Amino acid sequence: MSEKIGDEYNRAQRLHNLGVAAQERREFSEAEHCYLRSLEIKERIGDEHGRAMTLHQLGTIAEELKQYDEAEDWYRWSLAINEKIAYEHGQALTLDRLGWMSQNRRKFSEAESWYRRSLTIQQNIMDDHGQAAALQKLGRVAEQRRKFSEAEAFLMKAGEILKRVNDLDALNAVRRSLRRIRLKIV
């Protein structure tokens, strides 16, 4: 029995990987087909972590196709599983996507809430780059809401982290954002 589950697990993983390859080629219909087949197997064998990953990928396809309500459904399902299995990294990634979609739909309060939840998890798992990214996104939301002092504070915190981890490219991007915001404050 366990050999059969191992075979099914490997088949589901291959299908997921084929979905990723098709998605990278922007063949979204083929990618979705592979992901759905992979998801079906993962559900059958009880691979919760795999299900969450595949659901997240289905969300990214729907997002690419500008099917935001559907993308949100996939992401929420992925998030629920990641919360159930206490996979914080997966939670943070999905919260980030939910924030990004809310931000793009100009639902700034919602976006801020998703990003803050992601930031909290990034802090818990001590992911410096994840923290800096969440802070940058919170800064961008604050800027879009015309809360320039708040945006500056988020970006300053992101910059401190990026300086500490010596990520000069990301730090330069934060500095450019800070210059833009400071022009708006004056």
Q: Which domains does the chain have, with CATH numbers?
A: 1-86 (1.25.40.10)
Rounded to whole angstroms, how far apart are CA atoms 92 and 52?
Answer: 12
User: What is the distance between the alpha carbons of residues 175 and 101, in angstroms, rounded to a whole number?
Assistant: 25
pTM check: above 0.85: yes
Under 8 Å between Cβ of 61 and 32 = yes
Helix (H) or strand (E) holding 90: helix 88-104
pLDDT digit string, tens, across residues 102-144 = 999 999 999 999 999 999 999 999 999 999 999 999 999 999 9
- Alpha carbon of residue 91 to chain centroid: 8
- Measured between alpha carbons, how far is 137 from 159 in angstroms, rounded to an integer? 13
Instruction: Give per-residue pLDDT as tens, 79-102.
Output: 999 999 999 999 999 999 999 999
Looking at residue 1, its pLDDT comes to: 44
Tens digit of pLDDT for each residue in 14-25? 999 999 999 999
* Residues 124, 15: Cα–Cα separation, whole Å: 32
Question: Using CB atoms within 10 A of its CB, is residue 3 exposed (0-12), middle (13-18) or buried (19+)?
Answer: exposed
> Nearest CA to 109 among 145, 73, 76, 134?
145
